[in-house]
Amino acid sequence: MELTGNTIFITGGGSGIGRALAEALHQRGNKVIISGRRKANLAATIEANPGMDSIELDIADPASIRRVSAELISRYPKLNVLINNAGIMQVDDVAGYVDDELISSTITTNLIGPIRLTGSLIEHLKKQESAAVLNVSSVLGFVPMAIAAVYSSTKAALHSYSQSLRFKLRKTRVRVLELIPPWVRTELLNSSEESRAMPLDEFLQETMEALATDADEIMVARAKFLRDQAGPNESAFVNTFNERFELQPPEAEPVQETVSRS
């Protein structure tokens, strides 16, 4: 992916991985527009990065997606990169009853929203000289974390969607990329101080290096092992992986991060 001269819309750009990507791309001379749920975070990000813009989007609302898509195309006719980063992660227990709101909000935000938003912008992106859709999934889409089963399922589905989208757009000028983060020190699952998680600055440096290549799947080194576990022996690995978290679980408090809602 070309890392300069783009006009980029990033959902969930007010904190965590989204803000880190937004700032790194902004510093490389791209026009960056962010959206996010928490207005204070958006304002702080914009203030810290003169020239960056923000727009209000409710990723769960089809009407909001249509309105914002039309506004983006009108205000930023050179828009050529969409980064579907907004997401929520909440602890659940699929061995019992799972709250309907948790199920609905997670699937809508992490999967349905990106599909709707991409669909609303894709014809515009096709008209650009060079364009890209970058979907942010997770290693948990390949090795699910059982205490966040719904979240892990949405990331697996987003990976599948990305593969289909890449195939369907293969004869256009739109590249489809998938960023597959490992556990990173962000607010997600209260992991800002988690020693087992990858420091955000290290993750960003490796990610930007990978983005500059021709790879379709963007991964830091420590993500590749989990990405490669899919296959006939994956069930045994998933069991071992989750047994480790039973011994030392992350903070179990439900956490929302970078949801593009007002």
Residue 94's closest CA among 166, 141, 130, 145?
145
| pLDDT at position 251 | 61
Residues 157-174 have a mean pLDDT of: 97
Q: What is the pTM of this model?
A: 0.90
List 76, 97, 151, 161, catalytic entry = 151
What gap in Å lies between CA 41 and CA 97, rounded to an integer? 33
Contact 33/55 with Cβ under 8 angstroms? Answer: yes
Summary mean pLDDT of the chain: 92
Residues 218-225 have a mean pLDDT of: 95
Place of tokens 């929302």: 256
Residues 178-201 have a mean pLDDT of: 87
Q: Does residue 261 carry a pLDDT above 70?
A: no
Contact 254/91 with Cβ under 8 angstroms? Answer: yes
Topology adopted by domain 7-257 = Rossmann fold (3.40.50)
Q: Does residue 199 carry a pLDDT above 70?
A: yes
pLDDT digits (tens, 9 = 90+) for 26-36: 999 999 999 98
pLDDT digits (tens, 9 = 90+) for 1-25: 999 999 999 999 999 999 999 999 9
| pLDDT at position 257 | 40
Place of tokens 């809602």: 261
What gap in Å lies between CA 80 and CA 193, rounded to an integer? 35
151 among known catalytic residues? yes
Among 129-133, 194-198, 217-221, the least confident range = 194-198
| pLDDT at position 187 | 79
Residues 34-58 have a mean pLDDT of: 93
| pLDDT at position 154 | 98
Band of pLDDT at residue 250, cut at 50, 70 and 90: confident
Q: Does residue 245 carry a pLDDT above 90?
A: no
pLDDT digits (tens, 9 = 90+) for 95-137: 999 999 999 999 999 999 999 999 999 999 999 999 999 999 9
Would you list the DSSP string of 88-148? Answer: EE----TTS---HHHHHHHHIIIIIHHHHHHHHHHHHHHTSSSEEEEEE--GGGTS--GGG
pLDDT digits (tens, 9 = 90+) for 69-86: 999 999 999 999 999 999
Residues 33-43 have a mean pLDDT of: 90
